[in-house]
Amino acid sequence: MKKWKLDRIVSVATLVTSLLALYLVIKKPAPVATPQPAAVTAAAAESFQQKVQQLGQPQQPGEAPAEVHFTSDEVGAALAQATGLVSTATGQPAGSTPTLSSPDAVVAPGSPDVKDYQVNFDGDIARGQFLTQIGGKDVYVTLAGHLASKDGYATFEPTEFKVGDLSIPVSLINDALQKRLAEQRDRLKLPDNVGGIKVENGELVMTQK
């Protein structure tokens, strides 16, 4: 009888844990950034483009390389427009039909479709959150870490990974993530006029080459 009770308790505990994990996976986490009105998004994207142009201006003799600072709103707006998630004309989200089959697909080969995402910089940490589909369910994935550059290429060392509201140990996904980044190395090459990139004091900082 005692053994049966113990087995029953273990079974119930396992079931509850599984249900809790499932709930955390599909639960919407706290957003990493505050959604902005369309007009604000358009203005932020325009500000991003104006700052980028500064990096292309020729340096005067003896002048130090320009250092340009971008806010989370500026980067988020520029990325959204560049990927088509936000219309450049209206600033509203564009349509998408993501299809993923497992959490591994987040860092697996191929380009997962994304419905929506947010970007935030906190201290020296870059944090992104995007909405996709896993097992037919809309799921938010949050990834944070240190963004830097080496030998003309952007690098990323994760410090946080969440599926829904469920935290996943970084050690479990880092190898797959770094492999994926290596496969996408050409896309991580910095522009010819950018010498370095980092996140500092809650801003993205690009240094002119």
Convert the pLDDT of each residue in 115-149 to its tens digit. 777 889 999 999 988 887 766 778 888 999 999 99
- 76, 33 Cβ separation under 8 angstroms: yes
Q: Quote the CA–CA distance of 123 and 145 in Å, as a whole number.
A: 11
Partners of 117 in beta bridges: 130
Residue with tokens 């952007």: 154
Q: Quote the CA–CA distance of 22 and 164 in Å, as a whole number.
A: 9
- 142, 160 Cβ separation under 8 angstroms: yes
Q: Does residue 65 surpass a pLDDT of 60? A: yes
Alpha carbon 3 to its chain's center: 48
pTM: 0.73
Q: For the chain, give every domain's residue range.
A: 2-208
- Count of C-beta atoms within a 10 Å radius of residue 61: 4
Q: Quote the CA–CA distance of 155 and 188 in Å, as a whole number.
A: 8
Give me 85's structure tokens.
Answer: 């998630």
Whole-number pLDDT of residue 126: 94
Q: Quote the CA–CA distance of 39 and 59 in Å, as a whole number.
A: 34
Percentage of the chain modeled with pLDDT above 90: 24
Q: Does residue 157 surpass a pLDDT of 60? A: yes
Of 190, 202, 140, nearest in space to 166 by CA: 140
Mean pLDDT of 151-168: 90
